[in-house]
Chain A
């Protein structure tokens, strides 16, 4: 295919060529960034909590006094455990995607601020029910589960489990086993490391997995939130029954309906805005590609109509249908390429702006060739109709009205 004659022809339509190229450039920039944002949201939604989500749910009740805590725990645990299908009930401080509880700053030396972590408090059996996977050290012994004293919100000292992410954050490159850390006067010694365990906050970034499991006996502040384990098939039925049962087993407390759900339901609610955003972006991308394709179709149709005579002449002096078809396809390819080159630059500019205002990471380079391929494909698809019509122009046109 000779490119020179096409370029010469395009030079006669500088403005229209420029417009279509700019449209492609903008589409390329928006496409790359929108897909990137979608990918980011989807990967955030796929966060690993490290627990058996499909088997777990939580019941949250409020409106009781600290002195009623032990009695409430006893009634709730017995009452909930009596529901058919419930495998275990444990008093816990929170569950992944549940209401945030026990977020506090920690320090390694009482002088320097370490980081903010999620404390997760639970009684014996909680770890097994959660399905946490130990990767180093040991699980807490029965002796490690102590009562939380009055007016304390955590056990003042304990042997705890931390996540690998938190261990890497606090003691990079060292074994965390046996290390100490503090929150105010409370002191904790690491005895084991779990692979993954997301705190309730799940605020994204590395922060989601900076959590520690503190063993404690139910009572004191460890009351009102219960983790239920059931067979995944029974879970939703069990949760419905559990929500109903609370009114009879503890009539003086108030059930927190919004948070008394299975973890899959809590997880879906947690990511509702991300899903909405991804949905909106997919809509924008679809509309964007549609409009760009329509623009190409419109302009190409115009050019075909304008050049009917020239096409007729070319056909009359020996050009095949394929030659005409390829002419328009090549022309489109050139324009789109021109647009993509500008679009790649624009994509990086847009990404830089988004990074500045919206905490977005760098656009990975491999998005650019993918975006380019998509737009080349779109251009070729859009131009196919007008190009086929051009190829169908009979040579006899050349003989008319010249």
Chain B
């Protein structure tokens, strides 16, 4: 039966080519616009660590003396002072924990002829790599003993390894960071979490004060305390409530500039960690170091949400595109209605010859679905054009935008769903056509 309806639909579509083309075009344009923006959103709002992210948390405490002085904020600042962060880290109350601080460092390699470079350096602790599932090409991460011993070691990105050593195993080679030599102990495989979740504090949504959340991971990783020593004077505060005594040297300064990430395997552990944080701030208040006792600990996706990582422009574009799809939908309903009712005579004859309401309805829907499928293919092509246009724009995430299988399936699916939805009302109308009235006017 479907084959027969399909043939009828093909015939009908061929009969009025202009009207068919208009409908296909409307669906294709609507689908193209909404799928372009939806694909961008799908990429921007994805889970950077599927499977792991539910166990990763971002603790926050409030070291500020008076949160009315430094503007009004409802929650603790998005980073910590180094003392609180190191206190919480060294307590080892979580399954894994890592301090994270980024800075720019002058890099040269005695084994390479490349000129001096300023590169981003993430100073962190050993748990960073296993906790975030960072893949290694050569060598491995440093050990907790390296953290404690302020060891002069580093892990470099695949990209930097390619630039400095032509992609060969560079473990054991030396890198000069500012004025200190460090030994490379590991080289990463290409690794690009989207977004770069571990340093999004004060991202684009928060006035663009922080780092770009869609940037590549930094090229150099060093142990936290090693990094603080070798790149002293080059650290940037997130914000301060007093002047740091020495610019760029932020240890024990009235500034927040360090992040802490913890892995907690179960809800019970998360709840125990929250209690631990609450105790910690109470104790610090008793010691006179803290005035505030607010704490917060969100999981990874909650933290990305709280920091408004997804650019609001991308969201706005998505909503506008869906409003546009709704317009295309109304348009298609109107045109299908015109198309079906125009064939009133034909449908009347079919009804008179014994076709049921349902048969006419099914036939009309088949036609709508076919239009949707053709429109979907057109929409997919337009989405590819749209994504190409997005890639040409100078947005921080331009280079990440591509279409995957899931989004392709969704494009065709959405197009057919939209056209079936659009076809339902006109098909219902068409199936209600009274045969007698139509036959009379033939």
Contacts and interface: CB of A to CB of B under 8 A. Distances in A.
Given A298-B335, A302-B338, A34 B394 contact: no
B154 to A, nearest CB: 17
A203 B30 contact: no
Given A23-B331, A287-B33, A66 B233 contact: yes
Contact of B321 (A151, A284, A292, A359): A284
The 4 nearest A-B residue pairs measured at CB: A302-B338, A272-B394, A295-B331, A63-B106
Contact of B425 (A15, A291, A357): A15
B182 to A, nearest CB: 16
14 contacts: A62-B106, A100-B209, A184-B242, A203-B208, A221-B247, A284-B320, A284-B324, A287-B324, A291-B328, A301-B338, A302-B342, A305-B342, A350-B323, A359-B312
B429 A63 contact: no
B353 interface: no
A335 B316 CA distance: 29
Contacts of B334: 16, 19-20, 23, 295, 298-299
B327 A292 contact: yes
Contacts of A113: 68-71
Contacts of B327: 23, 26-27, 30, 288, 291-292
Contacts of B312: 357-359
B118 interface: yes
State the majority secondary structure of interface residues on B.
Answer: helix
A357 B69 CA distance: 27
Contact of B317 (A19, A280, A354): A280
Contacts of B115: 247
Contacts of B400: none
Contacts of B30: 291
B394 A276 contact: yes
B429 A15 contact: yes
Interface residues of B, number: 57
B281 interface: no
Interface of A is mostly: helix
A273 interface: yes
Q: Assign chain A's interface to a size class.
A: 35 or more
A201 B247 CA distance: 20
Contacts of A171: none
A281 B320 contact: yes
Interface in A5-42: 15-16, 19-20, 22-23, 26-27, 29-30, 33-34, 37
A16 B334 CA distance: 6
B330 interface: yes
B326 interface: yes
B436 interface: no
B116 interface: yes
Contact of A254 (B117, B311, B393): B117
B33 A358 contact: no
Given A252-B116, A269-B394, A358-B312, A30 B338 contact: no
B317 A105 contact: no
Interface stretch (B21-29, B44-52, B129-137, B160-168): B21-29
